[in-house]
Chain A
Amino acid sequence: MSDALIEARQVCVTFGSGSRAVRAVRDVSLHINAGEAIGIVGESGSGKSTLARVLAGLQKPDQGEVLFGDESIYQRGKAYRGDKRRLVQMVFQDPYGSLNPRITALSTVAEAVKFHGEHSRSESNRLSLELLGQMGISERDAGKKPRQLSGGQRQRVSVARALSAHPEILIADEPTSAIDQSAQAQLLNLFQGLLGDGLSIALVSHDLGVIRYLTNRVYVMKDGAFVESGLTQEVFDNPQHEYTKQLIASIPGRNMQGAGT
């Protein structure tokens, strides 16, 4: 576990207080090694999105700590101080809300490129177009505002924005749940390519198909706690916990495996 890039230790998050308190995350520990993709799978209300936000530095845990390179990230008020902020980026679930509706795809990405690289305006525009091009967004579409783009395109713009910070780890919270099937395949191919380039990915999803396809290790989350974890292949082939078995049995299309085209 020495090569863990990021590590969460006994993290607890509670919302509200008194009798109305909801313990969204209960005593959860996980680690992500450099260059690997882990999955956090669970149903709505399991606390997986909250955990993702904790890892991304957007939600301070009540207890426990998150270590990034041997240093706790939640110190003295602000999460991920200095250059570390850049290294952990996030892609959000809702492709409609994750882009500023008033500025074009290009400006969104160019703002990030300019911020991190200190380029001139024209230079950062050029780099942004290049980056968007790699994401499959044409120059024509780059000039559009979010509302004119499809869900899949918006999601790829979000990825481009995240990548312009040159992160070491990308946390993706349900990135495929709101987009069409063909767009989903494009996005997953993109993630696969990024893994090949050495990026680490933490994929939060309720879609076991996506988890099985992309990740090598998986944590199964229920009611704020992990019920099972291990190598994705092993968990899928031989689930131990009753809940995991139930989840896997619910994947549609499982009985079609091998019978496809």
Chain B
Amino acid sequence: MTLVEAGAADWFDVKGTPPKAKQARRLKDGTIGMIVGGAMLGVLLLMGILVPLLSPYESDQSVDMPFMPPSSTFLFGSDGLGRDVFLRVFSSVYLDLGVAFLGVIIPFTLGTIIGIGLAMSRSKKLNAVVGSVIDGINAFPLLVLAIALIAILGPGLQSVVIALSLTNWARYARLSRTRAQVVKQQGYIEAAQTQGYSKPRILFKHLVPNVSSETTAYGLSDLILVILLIASLSFLGLGAQPPTPEWGAMISDGRPTLQMAWWPVVFPGLALCWAGVALSFIAEGVTRRDRDVKS
């Protein structure tokens, strides 16, 4: 026994894992990240409901002198038209996140269907044609393509969503095609075939979940990019039109007078960052959890 006592017993507890291990594992499987990210997002969403509901003013109503610095009555101060920045920042939450959500979910769905369809199709011609369309779209930066399309469609949030749907699907299509090509050769798909399962069952129960897990993780991080993209487009005057409260548009409005009043620019900017950090925590958690399933 001397061996073990001298060598090993000092170093560790042989049986059982200390309670701290549980925490470590949670950190590793991304649970903590998801909790933090979820809480941050929750706060934002809650404020998005409560602030406009409880405020006695409207978001486009002038309530004070222009360019009043943050005070106890108006926490984020007032902008150039004397509007409450606090109210306007939180009035934008559902618009910004909602448009971004649409701008991800539509391309996500389209791209996944097209990608899996291509992977399952035996037609070489179809694969070549759609494949080169996908590569063509992906060759351009998203922002450039989106601006070009909005130039045709005319400015406005509706155009932003349409432009995103027409371009961003290609990324999801490429991702899910590659993934589906790998998954369809896995033993469990062939096993399902030898069981005699119907094609829809194999597709929806065994193939799609294993493909979309990959694209979901990408979609969550894409959501951050799309939020920034929408703000950028609005900043350029192509997205939300005044007086609609929108973070990008608010930053754009406050930019000329930034020297004398920082608050109309910084607070919408902080809101953008907050949303981005919250979503990246969640995305990271989902990715880790997914990695755990596979390894």
Contact = CB atoms under 8 A, between A and B. Distances in A.
A joins B in a complex: yes
A153 interface: no
Interface in B201-250: 205-206, 209-210, 213
Contacts of A165: 195-196
Interface in A1-40: none
Interface string A76-93: 000010000110111011
Contacts of A101: 210, 293-294
Nearest to A58: B190
Interface size class of A (residues with CB under 8 A): 20 to 34
B186 interface: yes
B121 to A, nearest CB: 16
Interface string A103-129: 000001001100110000000000000
Interface in A61-102: 80, 85-86, 88-90, 92-94, 97-102
Given A102-B293, A147-B294, A90 B188 contact: no
Interface in B5-57: none
B contact patch SS: helix
A229 interface: no
A89 B194 contact: yes
Interface size class of B (residues with CB under 8 A): 10 to 19
B193 interface: yes
Contact of A58 (B194, B206, B293, B294): B194
A112 B195 contact: yes
Contacts of B187: 92-94, 97-99, 158
A48 interface: no
B186 to A, nearest CB: 5
Nearest to B190: A58
Contact of B186 (A97, A145, A147): A97
Given A145-B293, A147-B295, A165-B195, A100 B190 contact: no
Nearest to B197: A115
B209 A85 contact: no
Interface of A: 56-58, 80, 85-86, 88-90, 92-94, 97-102, 108, 111-112, 115-116, 145, 147, 158, 161-162, 165
